[in-house]
Amino acid sequence: MLTKLMRYDFRAVLKLWWIPAVTLLALSPLTGLFIYLVSFADTNAVATLTLTIIMILLLLLYILTFAAHIILTLFFCHRRFYCHFFTDEGYLTFTLPVRRRTLLLSKTLVTFIMTVATVLVCAASLALLAVSSGYGSDVAHWIGNQMRSFLGDDGFAVNATVIIILLLLFLLWLCSTQFLIQFAITLGAVIAKKHKILAAIGLYYLASNVLGLLMTLFMEFTTVFTAVAAVRFSDMSTARFDVISMLLMFMDILFLAMLDTILYLLTLSSIERRLNLA
Amino acid sequence: MEQMQTEQTLVCRNLTKSYLRGRPVLQNLNITLRPGRVVGLLGPNGCGKSTLLKLVSGILVPDSGEIFICGEPQSEATNRFVSYLPERTYFDGHMVVAELMDYFGDFYEDFDRERAETMLQDLGVDRAARLSTLSKGTKEKVQLVLVMSRRARLYLLDEPIGGVDPAARDYILRTIIGQYDKNATVLITTHLIHDVEPALDEFAFMANGGRILLSGNAEAVRSERGKSLDELFREVFSCLPN
């Protein structure tokens, strides 16, 4: 049943998702080409001004499409979540011979996969932009430098672990953003009779501020802890210090994983027990 | 007792339901439906007819009480026995009628696609039409056709003919409700008692608070009291001052 549900959810989201994705990918080399032309054009020529104007307009369009792609993905996925669970369409959703946890899991997996796909499309479009504008090698060099300065030169094993941890943190952050939206929509629909979306938006901002504060405090705590450890144990070996840093990052992962689990279970519990379609 | 529950299509025991900050819509309601019967659940607005159907279909969660469908406690699993038609349009407007048939076919093992195709053709509904482009009445026809094309054990029809034209109404009553599986039970709520009356085997008059005022065999009422259900309903729920 999960596969069937996901198939319909994917089909519904993809029906519109591909439009901003393809637009963004098509705009990247075009914008890059104009950046390239302007960079190497004669600065005094009148044609350069025209090229510059076109480049600026294209760049503006690219940035807008980039933002729209992310926003629309979230909108398409969460609109489906909202409509299928909390509007009249719920009369069909909840009379299917499918467990409610399977219904939620389907929406969650599809949203997560589509979000990751959006991130990949955005990354691909940036790479295309960099390559087509002639700054590909410069950007690659800059990223390499940044990575080296962040990770250090302590050997491949440590660096690979740190990269995996960072990737995991990023994915968990994506999950928490998604779960927070789902939780706000669910709670908004449960507590509000008429203005469910307004209630959901209000709750989202409230919850994200509270959680943001908690996250900041937690991150600050880990940073301060690392700094204190560095001063206190100045004779500590680099390897041991790396291990402590990684442990702290693991704590961050644990914190995010706990947060995600709590938000998911609260949403599931509301859908299973508190849902009352009027 | 257990065997009796299995034999009945629907058993509701001491069912109570109230909405937020309100008094109970249903209070200690008990109702039992046998297989092979078309039952009319009739009552004034707000007496809890739709609420009962929503509770049985799992849309709402009861405050207390028990619901058994074909011997099993109500859950997502019992949805395979129940075909529910709400009183509103509830399909995704972006879907095409044929896609909806695929959807029903994928999720309900008892969905009879051939039957659905025939009924849609008889009612003049285009399979390739997008739901959002159809009129309210046509949408209701599509919903009714899909719901009645399942070989379910229990049909819950909330105002099934309220929004359709009189010609389609006759077709629906004759062809759809009249030709349902003889082992199934159909529970209909409607205000169009006069239209539905010929299709009913049994009836239950429900008053505010979900109390069953009167129930029994529809034919017996007509022969013993010399009144149609419509007339009896008007008499029981008369709003005119004496």
pLDDT for residue A276? 60
What mean pLDDT do residues B37-59 have? 87
Contacts 24+ apart (CB under 8 A), A226-232: none
Q: What is the DSSP string of chain B?
A: -HHHHHHSSEEEEEEEEE-TTS-EEEEEEEEEE-TT-EEEEE--TTSSHHHHHHHHHTSS--SEEEEEETTEESSGGGGGTEEEE-SS--S-TTSBHHHHHHHHHHH-TTB-HHHHHHHHHHTT--TT-BGGGS-HHHHHHHHHHHHHTB--SEEEEESTTTTS-HHHHHHIIIIIITTS-TTSEEEEE-S-HHHHGGG-SEEEEEETTTEEEEEEEHHHIIIII---HHHHHHHHT--S--
CA B89 to chain centre: 15
CA separation for the pair A50, A60 (Å, rounded): 15
Q: Is B230 exposed, middle or buried (0-12, 13-18, 19+ CB in 10 A)?
A: middle
Q: Do B88 and A95 touch (CB under 8 A)?
A: no
pLDDT of residue B45: 84
pLDDT at B143: 87
pLDDT at A234: 65
Interface test with A, best of B19, B21, B63, B90 (most A CBs within 10 A): B90
Sign of the CA dihedral running B180, B183, B184, B190: positive
Is A8 part of the contact surface with chain B (CB cutoff 8 Å)? Answer: yes
Nearest chain B residue (CA) to A84: B92
Backbone angles phi, psi at B18, to 5 degrees: -130, 150
- From chain B, pick out residues whose CB is under 8 angstroms from the CB of A83: 92
A98 touches chain B (CB under 8 A): yes
- Please write the tens of the pLDDT for every residue from A243-264: 777 777 788 888 888 888 998 9
- Per-residue pLDDT averaged across B7-34, rounded? 83
pLDDT band at A195 (very low <50, low <70, confident <90, very high): confident
Single-letter residue type at B158: D
Residues in chain B with CB shorter than 8 Å from the CB of A92 are 90-91
pLDDT of residue A26: 92
A209 vs A228: CA distance, rounded Å: 28
φ, ψ for residue A195 (rounded to 5)?
-90, 70
DSSP annotation string for A41-77: S-TT-HHHHHHHHHHHHHHHHHHHHHHHHHHHHHHHH
A6 contacts chain B (CB < 8 A): no
**pTM flag (> 0.95):** no
Rounded to whole angstroms, the Cα distance separating A259 from A265 reads: 10
**DSSP bridge partners of B187:** B39, B156
Using an 8 Å CB-CB cutoff, list chain B residues near A100. Answer: 76
User: Which residues in chain B are closer than 8 Å to A269, comparing Cβ atoms?
Assistant: none
Residue for token pair 């740190």 = A162
- Using DSSP, state whether A97 is helix, strand or coil: coil
Chain A: residue whose CA lies nearest to B95: A12
pLDDT band with cut points at 50, 70 and 90 for residue B240: very low
Cβ of A95 within 8 Å of Cβ of B59? The answer is yes
User: Which of the four pLDDT bands, split at 50, 70 and 90, describes residue B20?
Assistant: low
CA torsion, ordered A220, A225, A230, A232, to nearest 10 deg: 140
Predicted confidence (pLDDT) at residue B241 exceeds the cutoff of 70: no
For chain A, the helix, strand and coil percentages under 3-state DSSP, each to the nearest 5? 85, 0, 15
pLDDT at residue A166 is higher than 70 = yes
Q: State the distance between the two ends of chain B, measured CA to CA, in whole angstroms.
A: 45
Is 70 exceeded by the pLDDT of residue A171?
A: yes
**In the predicted model, is pLDDT for residue A19 greater than 90?**
yes
- Is residue B17 over pLDDT 80? yes
Report pLDDT for B1. Answer: 46
The domain locations on chain A are: 1-135, 152-278
Backbone angles phi, psi at A127, to 5 degrees: -65, -45
| B137 confidence band (pLDDT: 50, 70, 90) | confident
Question: Could you report the per-residue pLDDT of A121-164, keeping only the tens digit for each?
Answer: 999 999 888 888 888 788 878 877 777 666 655 544 556 777 78
What confidence score (pLDDT) does residue B18 get? 85
Residue B242: per-residue pLDDT: 44
Quick one: pLDDT band at residue B59, thresholds 50, 70, 90? confident
Mean pLDDT of chain B: 83
Residues A199-236: tens digit of each pLDDT: 888 888 888 888 888 878 877 777 777 777 667 666 66
ipTM entry: 0.82
State the pLDDT confidence band at B27, using cuts at 50, 70 and 90.
Answer: confident
Separation in Å, CA of B85 to nearest CA in chain A: 9
Q: Do A95 and B92 touch (CB under 8 A)?
A: no
Q: Is the pLDDT of residue B54 over 80?
A: yes
A80-134 pLDDT tens trace: 899 888 888 888 888 899 888 999 999 999 999 999 999 999 999 998 888 888 8
Chain centroid to CA A175: 8
Q: Cα A13 from chain centroid?
A: 17
The answer to whether residues B84 and B53 touch, using CB atoms and an 8 Å cutoff, is: yes
- Distance in angstroms (rounded) separating the CA atoms of residues A203 and A207: 6
Chain B nearest-CA residue for A190: B20
The CATH number of the domain covering residues in B2-87+157-236: 3.40.50.300
What gap in Å lies between CA A45 and CA A42, rounded to an integer? 6
Separation of first and last alpha carbons in chain A: 27
Residue B170, pLDDT score: 79
**Confidence at residue A23, expressed as pLDDT on a 0 to 100 scale:** 93
pLDDT value for A177: 87
